[in-house]
Amino acid sequence: MMPGRCQPAQLQKFMDGLVLRNPGEREFHQAVYEVANTLLPYINRHPVYHELRILERMTEPDRMVSFRVSWQNDAGEIIVNRGFRVQMNNAIGPYKGGLRFSHTVTPSILKFLAFEQTFKNSLTGLPMGAGKGGANFNPKGKSPTEVMRFCQSFINELYRHIGPNLDVPAGDIGVGAREIGYMFGQYKRITGSFEGVLTGKGLEFGGSLIRTEATGYGVVLFLEHMLNEVGRNLSGLRISISGSGNVSLHAAERALQSGAIVQTLSDSRGCIHDPDGIDDEKLRWVRELKEVRRGRIAEYAERFASATYHADARPWMVPCDVALPCATQNEIDAGDARRLLEGGVTAVCEGANMPTELDAVSLLTDSGVMFGPAKAANAGGVAVSGLEMSQNSARLSWTLADMERQLEQIMSDIHGRCVEFGREDSDSIDYVAGANIAGFRKVAEAMLAFGVV
Ligand code: NDP
């Protein structure tokens, strides 16, 4: 069955209802629009999904909690932040999805992320429902003890809403192994129970090998499948990567292993361009800069003479073969898409969640650029989180070789599902439609089985 785009009137009616129910939530509207645009034609061919209002139900979270997080800074002042957890859909497994700590966190952003997670988790083939959460807490510039006190206070409330068979959060922007450790420690202290309630844990207390690397590695594995599908590979291709966090640096590492030339990185203040390529040694230096010294990417251009720094800029003006947006949402707009096209881009694969604005996606795909959407391309992280849950339940640890093999297989299967549901008349692949339809089907079938609940 061919994918397709929706009739404008039907899409408009669906979106009018959604906007009315969720006023002002721009990111959530954007994520639902992109999915509905490709799913409604499929739903029209399967009237039972329409009659039982499956998509309407999938766009309404099962529940969403919001709570006060009070904590004391090093100066003894009391700070009040707001924490959230969106429990979106648990039709195929416990709620599962990351926690984001950033001053930019809003209900709209968490609902868009939780909605995307529904499809992503389904695509992995593992039994995971979808959730997302976090707080409007900015960890930048906070001391380690302030971060610890915040995490403990956050869990003092969140603990009552999560559990290994209920909801299993993980990391996201601003939440790495350190924060997961603090939160797991506090959960264990409150409940007295050692259980797999968070993923991304340290290896010493139930974490899984390659969880840290999995999202970035998975993005490049997915990209390689896309290229192989048209008889190409990564060797010698010039790659522009945005961000310099977990996803970006592991995507860069894996791309280098496949012989690509990584030429850019960025952070929230600007980007660097190194025409000589960011090799393994330079990458190690960036990792130390970001993970240990918590410095700015601008320092790269001071350290390596081959590089230039561009303040307040994204890397999309640099000519490249492949773009990997790995920083944050809406970081490629229509102007960026035009610059990428002028620079000769042939593939874009999303490491971050929803980094490409809707009109930018259209510009790229209409020009024949291969486009790997986040819910498929960056699913490697949550897939390994799912495997961490299995290891915790079975009280065992798989080896590095086991984990690498399983990640490779899962990314290959996700690519296969996108191809199966995204192949067009012209024989090209619409990965956006393929990912949406393949992710939707499994959740929708489970919801049908449960009746109207
Ligand atoms: P990190 O916090 O490790 O890194 C985020 C990077 O993006 C940093 O370089 C940061 O710069 C930059 N950044 C953040 N906000 C902005 C902004 N507004 N403009 C420009 N740059 C920005 O996060 P992750 O690498 O974990 O996550 C990156 C993306 O990948 C997010 O969209 C996340 O949801 C998604 N993702 C992550 C997964 C994971 O396993 N970690 C799984 C699936 C998706 P600075 O240092 O200046 O803040």
Nearest CA-CA partner of 116 in 31, 202, 212: 31
Q: Does ligand 1 have an atom closer than 6 angstroms to the CB of 247?
A: yes
Cβ(353) – ligand 1 distance below 6 Å: yes
pLDDT at 2: 54
Residue 397, pLDDT score:
94
For the stretch 158-216, pLDDT in tens is 999 999 999 999 999 999 999 999 999 999 999 999 999 999 999 999 999 999 999 99
Closest CA to ligand 1's atom 7: 327
Tell whether ligand 1 has an atom less than 6 A from the beta carbon of residue 325.
Answer: no
List the CATH code of the domain at 1-60+430-453: 1.10.285.10
pLDDT-based confidence at 317, cuts 50/70/90? very high
Closest Cα to atom 21 of ligand 1 = 268
Atom 3 of ligand 1, nearest CA residue: 245
Question: Does the CB atom of residue 172 touch ligand 1 within 6 A?
Answer: yes
Domain ranges of the chain: 1-60+430-453, 63-194, 214-368
pLDDT digits (tens, 9 = 90+) for 326-365: 999 999 999 999 999 999 999 999 999 999 999 999 999 9
Spatial separation of the C-alpha atoms in residues 427 and 180, rounded to whole Å: 44
CA angle 249, 251, 256 (to 5 degrees): 95
Q: Give residue 247 CA to ligand 1 midpoint distance, Å.
A: 7
Give Cα separations from 363 to 95, 239, 342, 355 (angstroms).
34, 19, 12, 14
Out of 132, 201, 282, 290, the active site residue is 132
**How many helices (H) and strands (E) in the chain?**
17, 12
Segment 220-252, tens digit of pLDDT:
999 999 999 999 999 999 999 999 999 999 999
Closest CA to ligand 1's atom 11: 267
- The mean pLDDT value of the chain amounts to 96
User: pLDDT tens, 375-434?
Assistant: 999 999 999 999 999 999 999 999 999 999 999 999 999 999 999 999 988 889 999 999
Ligand 1 centroid to Cα of residue 7, in Å, is 35
What are the tokens at 250?
């592991």
pTM over 0.85: yes
| H or E element in which residue 109 lies | helix 107-123
Could you tell me what percent of the chain has a pLDDT over 90?
96
pLDDT at 99 over 90: yes
Q: Mean pLDDT over residues 78-103, rounded?
A: 98
- 381 CB less than 6 Å from ligand 1? yes
CA of 87 to the centre of ligand 1 (A): 22
pLDDT at 295: 95
pLDDT band at 1 (very low <50, low <70, confident <90, very high): very low
5 has pLDDT over 80: no
pLDDT over threshold 80, residue 7: no
Cα 52 to middle of ligand 1, angstroms: 37
Q: Given this model, what pLDDT does residue 186 score?
A: 98
Q: What is the CATH number of domain 63-194?
A: 3.40.50.10860
* pLDDT number for residue 60: 98
Fold match, 63-194 / 214-368: yes
- Give pLDDT tens digits for 434-447: 999 999 999 999 99
Residue 173, ligand 1, Cβ within 6 A? yes
For the packed helices 400-422 and 211-229, what is the interaxial angle rounded to 10 degrees? 40
DSSP one-letter code for 138: -
Ligand 1 within 6 A of CB of 207:
no
Work out the pLDDT band at 3, boundaries 50, 70, 90. Answer: low
Tokens standing for 435? 């990912």
Integer Cα distance of 278 and 284 in angstroms: 10
Q: What is the pLDDT of residue 381?
A: 96
Please give the structure tokens belonging to residue 356.
């490409």
**Mean pLDDT, rounded, for 260-275:** 98
Task: Judge if the beta carbon of residue 386 lies within 6 A of ligand 1.
Answer: no
Q: How far is the CA of 352 from the centre of ligand 1 (A)?
A: 7
Catalytic residue flag (residue 282): no
Q: How far is the CA of 310 from the centre of ligand 1 (A)?
A: 19
Q: Which CATH class is domain 214-368?
A: alpha beta
Nearest CA to ligand 1 atom 2: 173
Report d(CA 259, CA 208) in Å as an integer.
27
**Which of these, 166, 196, 173, 172, lies nearest to 184 by C-alpha position?**
196
Nearest to 128 by CA among 168, 150, 96: 96
How far, in Å, CA of 385 to CA of 447, rounded?
24
pLDDT the model gives residue 427: 83
228, 199 in Cβ contact below 8 A? no
How big, in percent rounded to 5, are the helix, strand and coil portions of the chain?
50, 15, 35
User: Would you say 172 and 134 are in contact if contact means Cβ atoms under 8 Å apart?
Assistant: yes
Q: Is the CB of 380 under 6 A from ligand 1?
A: no
State percent of the chain over pLDDT 70: 99
Distance between CA atoms of 100 and 154, rounded to whole angstroms? 12
Query: Best substitution site from 115, 172, 286, 414 to test ligand 1's pocket, by max atoms within 8 Å of Cβ?
Result: 172
Counting atoms of ligand 1 from 1, which one is nearest the CA of 290? Answer: 46
Q: 381 near 350, Cβ under 8 Å?
A: no
Q: Ligand 1 center to residue 450 CA distance, Å? A: 36
Pocket flag, ligand 1, residue 244 (CB < 6 Å)? yes
pLDDT number for residue 71 = 98
